Structure 1
């Protein structure tokens, strides 16, 4: 059977081949998944077309890997699963991608329609389970519509706020044959990556926002992950430099302006360096691509009352969800910032000079913060203080390096202390859903998306244990990255919270068995390095990054639950019983 459909030709093919042809037409990147009978025609077509597809050991890892690949590359992440348990294993990763705005297409096999609801093996109401965790679920009911509906999947995944689209394909349509016409496999190339389409905010709203910023004494910018989805990091950095307006970021917004930039106030919200204080002093706040969720707002207390807020976002549904704004800028972050900068400087060309003294406060405060927390950033205590580990990562990871961070514990430490050195997404946390288990597959996805760039991943021992099986996958794919296991022999976040809420010694179901993960790595045939001395962290990181192939760096960190949360300045934490924190 020929590999291509030439112009004005027709070709009979199975439904699975039609799906593969559309993916190939979009120049789809690597696919990740686990097959089954329902998907055999898709896998066979992918094999014949020599399309990149990688077998995973768990479908959750497959969709996490596709998520990280898409976040780093901007292109559509691709995953697949067979029916029943294959489909249901996608749920957590799909929820991450939906909340994070990750462009993704997942092809899922389903029951033969002639035998549905007759106790077919592995059958369940999977479309009902998957529908709430994807941007759109497309059920294919006619083989001749496969090209049309697959094109729609890529269109939906890459427009507006991007997101995951599930294409549910019954077994009989995947295996059946149909004669397709060549033009049915022609696609619009703009939907290969996100954002595929851009729109500008209303001009009158832009003028209103510019007038507020022109009259502000202490304007401030809050940048979220939408800045990266839009590819607007360099634009935002340029906006900040042209106006001298400082910028703080969320966990997913890190890199919206380089952390090393004098105008960067670092992370804001639950954990911060100096940002929350500056927000409290601000009079006008520009929110860009940020949902103002629980973590970013310190459970809806930051910013405080009485602030004038301008909100720029592509998703109108986010306006007013957690905080009412005075001016709404509905549109693409990059174009919105371009228009706002032009309007502001036309109205107040002296903005940069007028705010110079105010902007100069930021590096002074940041330097004072670093001085205050230096004993922990450079701690020599054993077991190792996590702050010392992050300090070493900042020292060793070059400007083009990427740090992936697992949910919860690792993401908060990385979000607070990791310093990006250039604009753009160099920090990849799974904060859309904040599940754990992302560290290893996330590193794999980042390595595939950015070959040649150094990739480190920060994960806890709990999260690493969830996905250990895909060390085999990493070895098989010969991927270059280092996964750093923050080994505290505990479910660290939970134990730290038990310590805060119930007091010392009141811990339950939060301790793990001591495991030497360097030896575990060696059992999988990959390099394992164990670090117990803080003075050896930098050398170990350099050694790991010089090795070809995956490396597991097992770092033995503090067992003291009072030191597990990333409050390096030892601020007091007040948590009421019943509060949830993640």
Structure 2
């Protein structure tokens, strides 16, 4: 890899009097001290690539542009800093769409650069030309097209500002070929940038004092209050604030898949996942007399198809995006606020009553801890199952035992995310579980793990992916090997598009499967062929050893091919492998 993101920016004395637009782009990026950047070049951005080489920008070749966005997205989620990537025009730009929508829906701050056609020759059947601006615009928070070379530094700064303000999101900067190749005598002062713009959120809003006081009174009077945390808690960096409020007044906490880690899953106050897949949380929500929903959009899965919470429940909704209020549930009180600022404000507003509330709520808190302990005991046979092929619950239990407290599990969309969301236990507050639930595309597990490893060097990173998702992106093992990233990829090998096959089984019965089976593949051999350490596990008793061996491989990625059940009746996420009656016409995602 080239020089690290922490290198000093180029000083004014080193900036030439005149430079190409591409070099100006590289220098303003260098000043922002971004994380590692990934892309696949083309003629349009060649001056940028040349300058990146000369000034030591940490830029790396990717094998698929979609994975470049996935890496940037996971990097942003784990680091809290802006993720950056680039693509050439046409197919390079359109390959970004899936990753951009993930970042847009998930609130991940990205700045993405795309080359475009020479403006003198646009709409004259230029090679690879498309209406890419129109294609990309709805997939990002804002699209900025550079029409004058002298405005390039200004507009790149604008991109960072938009990406890190409000609900963070991806900003695309579209750069025509002539802008990138032309030259201009830039003022060196234009290459100074506020480093705060490279972190998110760069700006925070706080709730109105009267609203905060009302929310505090509602929580103080409640007998069975419950906090429901979504991914906004992590976008805000509010996990410590959530943990502090919970402990101050014995406030139990349930979470969505993206909100996992709002408090540690092993904390006595944790009620686990709520919504479609829950442990004890849905019943607690039903019994609660006041719900504090924090950084959560209350989407379909979190609400179990909009049935949780039930209509009429008293809800305080804390979010920094006012448009989310009332979208799926009408709250009794709206707190328009950054999650960290809102939770900190609530803790302060309750401070003089906190000890009394905590004492009064101790019995309730003990009840939650007892119910969680009872749940864990009830599923122990699944968690320790000796079944072959391997039971998913046993596999996740071994991951729980092996993962250090500061480890990061990145879960691919669908099958892996649901199982991981239900069974993976974070051991401390913070973003230790990274699912791509903004768009839930499969193929995220490997590049997401790469982004997490780059964002958190020294932390153990595992990417959990299905065989179908891995098939989409296996070429990025070469990228991970090239960068010597010491991460572990677990391929859940069920020789199927497991989630789809399980749903087909539920709806249409056994042997009614269409286009959901894959060929048997030994993915350990695939990894070996790509120059990585590949391990195949067919017995549950070998899981712990394989994980331990992968953790000692510090020279590059390790892939563990885990052979799990082929029975679609036992594929659906849920430690009890529950059967669900699905009515015809009732779509299940």
Q: TM-score range by the shorter chain?
A: over 0.9
Over residues 167-197 of structure 1, what are the superposed CA-to-partner deviations in whole Å (9 max), with x where a residue is unaligned? 0000000000001101111111211110111
Contact 1:31 1:78 in 2 (8 A): yes
* Alignment of structure 1 residues 543-554 onto 2, 5 Å: 543-548=549-554, 549-554=556-561
- Cα separation, 2, equivalents of 1:382 and 1:214: 51
Q: Is the aligned partner of 1:243 residue 2:211?
A: no
1:578 is aligned, of 575, 581, 585, to 585
Aligned residue in 2 for 1:313: 319
Where does 1:279-290 land on structure 2 (aligned, <5 Å)?
A: 279-290=285-296
Q: Is residue 88 from structure 1 mapped to residue 104 from structure 2 by the alignment?
A: no
- Following TM superposition, by how much is the alpha carbon of 1:346 offset from its aligned partner in structure 2, in angstroms? 3.0
1:79 to 72, 75, 85: 85
Out of 383, 386, 391, which is 2:389 matched to?
A: 383
Check the 8 A contact 2:12/2:189 in 1, yes or no: no
Task: Say which of 330, 339, 343 aligns to 1:324.
Answer: 330
Q: Does 1:302 align with 2:308?
A: yes
Select the residue among 540, 543, 547 that pairs with 1:537.
543
- How far did residue 261 of structure 1 move? 0.1
Structure 1 partner of 2:575: 568
Q: Which residue of 2 aligns with 1:420?
A: 426
Q: CA deviation at 1:547?
A: 1.0
Map residues 56-455 of structure 1 onto 2, 5 A cutoff. 56-346=62-352, 349-455=355-461
Deviation at 1:7, TM superposition (A): 6.7
Q: Is the 8 A contact 1:105 1:153 kept in 2?
A: yes
Secondary structure in 1 aligned to 2:379?
A: helix
Change (3 A) 1:122 1:260: same
- State the match for 1:41 in structure 2: 47
Hey, what does 1:511 align to over in structure 2?
517
Q: Does 1:559 align with 2:566?
A: yes
Q: 1:487-521, CA deviations, whole angstroms, 9 ceiling, x for partnerless residues?
A: 00000000000011111211110000000000011
Q: Give the whole-Å Cα distance in 1 for the aligned partners of 2:15 and 2:278.
A: 61
Instruction: Tell me the alpha carbon deviations over residues 230-284 of structure 1, each in whole angstroms, 9 at most, x when there is no partner.
Output: 1010110010000101000000000000000000000000000010010110010
Q: Deviations over 1:341-370 (max 9, x none)?
A: 111233565110111100111111011111
> Contact conserved, 2:294 with 2:339, CA < 8 A, in 1?
yes
The CA deviation at 1:573 is: 1.8
Distance in 2 of aligned mates of 1:350 and 1:102:
39
SS of aligned partner of 2:17: strand
Query: 2: distance between equivalents of 1:9 and 1:398?
Result: 45
1:468 aligns with 2:474: yes
Is 1:523 the equivalent of 2:529? yes
Which 10-residue stretch deviates more, 262-271 or 336-345? 336-345
Tell me if the contact between 1:210 and 1:347 (Cα under 8 Å) persists in the aligned partners: no
Provide the alpha-carbon RMSD of the alignment: 1.2
In the alignment, the residues of structure 2 paired with residue 554 and residue 63 of structure 1 have an alpha-carbon distance, to the nearest angstrom, of 25
The number of equivalent residue pairs is 580
Is the contact between residue 10 and residue 30 of structure 2 (CA under 8 Å) also seen in structure 1?
no
Judging changes above 3 Å, is the alpha-carbon distance between structure 1 residues 444 and 197 closer, same or farther for their aligned structure 2 residues? same
1:162 is paired with a residue whose SS is coil
Distance of aligned partners of 1:310 and 1:474 in 2 relative to their CA distance in 1, 3 Å threshold: same
Partner of 2:26: 20
What is the CA–CA distance in structure 1 between the aligned matches of 2:19 and 2:562, rounded to whole Å?
52
Paired residue for 1:501? 507
Tell me the distance in 2 between the aligned counterparts of 1:9 and 1:27: 16
- Post-superposition Cα deviations, 1:507-537, rounded to whole Å, max 9, x if no partner, equal 1100000000000111101110000001111
Distance in 2 separating the partners of 1:405 and 1:570: 19
SS in 1 for 2:464: strand
Question: Is the CA contact (8 Å cut-off) linking 1:7 and 1:183 kept in structure 2?
Answer: no
Q: CA deviation at 1:575?
A: 2.2
Gaps of 5+ in 1: none
SS at match of 1:128: helix
- State the TM-score, normalizing by the size of structure 1: 0.98
The answer on whether the counterparts of 1:436 and 1:463 sit within 8 Å (CA) in structure 2 is yes
Provide closer, same or farther for how the CA distance between residues 10 and 479 of structure 1 changes in structure 2, counting only shifts above 3 A: closer
1 CA distance for matches of 2:585 and 2:436? 24
State whether residues 318 and 334 of structure 2, in contact with CA within 8 Å, keep that contact through their aligned partners in structure 1: yes
Q: Which moved more, 1:109-118 or 1:206-215?
A: 206-215
Question: Alignment partner of 1:285: what SS?
Answer: strand
Q: Displacement, 1:8?
A: 12
| Residue number in structure 2 paired with 1:52 | 58
- Cα distance in 2 for residues equivalent to 1:129 and 1:259: 40
The answer to whether the Cα contact below 8 Å between 2:412 and 2:465 also exists between their aligned partners in 1 is yes
Task: Tell me, yes or no, if the aligned pair for 2:299 and 2:328 is still in contact at 8 Å.
Answer: yes
> Residues 4 and 366 (structure 1 numbering): CA distance in 2 closer, same or farther, change over 3 Å?
closer
C-alpha displacement of 1:469 = 0.9
Structure 2 residue runs without a partner (length 5+): 1-8
Is 1:5–1:11's contact at 8 Å kept on the other side of the alignment?
Answer: no
